[in-house]
Amino acid sequence: MYKNNPIVISKSIAPRAHQIVPYLTVEEVKQIEDAARNNKCNGERNSILIQLLFETGLRVSEALSLTPRLINEYEGHAVLFIKGKGKKSRMVACPDNLAYRLKSFAYTKKLELDDRIFKITRARAWQIVKEIAEKAGIQKRVYPHLFRHSDAIERLRQTGNPKALMYHLGHSSTLMTMRYL
């Protein structure tokens, strides 16, 4: 009966741009970061990773490939030079206090300029994020990319500028950015 009706669209084939984007609130991110910091084993590293994912909106693979050499300044503010999806380079704003934490962590660990700051795999990053979120008492399904969504939602709340968000996230399509509206 509905087989040839073009109006009936199942949720599974609905375009991604029209689906609701899950995210964490700033308070939930703070809870997760606090839980990471209070962990005796690798608490500092995990706390910095959570902060980096949320405050920069990096993909987990971008965050894990970060080296001290990629932390720089542009017009007096900290930036990260990232090679993103499709090997596209972009400059990402980084809060100065986070850049300081990253450099301090690298110095403490005696990392060379081209050593990765986070010497873990993507699978381990997922595991860390999930475990910390559980310890923080977060009831949502938490995974690294959720911090990217959360960053995007919070940036739009603060700035109201989808074009700037598009550049920040490294999207080539405005449609991908518009889903955060």
User: Which residue segments constitute the domains of the chain, with CATH numbers given?
Assistant: 20-178 (1.10.443.10)
pLDDT for 109 beyond 70: yes
Instruction: Please give the angle made by the CA atoms of 149, 150 and 154, to the nearest 5 degrees.
Output: 120
Q: Name which of 83-92, 146-155, 161-170 the model is least confident about.
A: 161-170
Q: In the chain, pLDDT over 90 holds for what percent of residues?
A: 63
What band does 13 get if pLDDT is binned at 50, 70 and 90?
Answer: very low
The answer on pLDDT for 165 being more than 90 is: no
* Residue-averaged pLDDT of the chain: 86
CB-based contact 132:36 (threshold 8 Å): yes
Distance from first CA to last CA of the chain, Å, rounded?
Answer: 35
For the beta sheet containing 89-93, the strands, ordered from the edge strand earlier in sequence to the opposite edge, are: 71-74, 77-83, 89-93
Q: For residue 160, what pLDDT band results from cuts at 50, 70 and 90? A: confident
Q: What is the pLDDT of residue 153?
A: 85
> Nearest 5 degrees, angle CA 160-CA 166-CA 169?
110
pLDDT given for residue 16 in this prediction: 56
Distant-in-sequence, close-in-space partners of 90: CB < 8 Å, separation ≥ 6: 81, 82, 84, 167, 170
Per-residue pLDDT, averaged over 5-17, amounts to 47
| Rounded Cα distance, 4 and 25, in Å | 42
Residue where the block lists tokens 């084993």: 41
Rounded to two decimals, the pTM is 0.83
Please name which of 36, 48, 41 lies closest in space to residue 130, comparing C-alpha atoms: 36
For residue 34, pLDDT over 90 is answered with yes
If one compares 38 and 171, the residue with the highest pLDDT of the two is 38
What per-residue confidence (pLDDT) applies to 6? Answer: 47
Pairwise pLDDT comparison (120 vs 40), residue with the higher score: 120
Higher pLDDT, 125 or 153: 125
> What number is the average pLDDT over the span 135-154?
93
- Say what the pLDDT of residue 7 is: 45
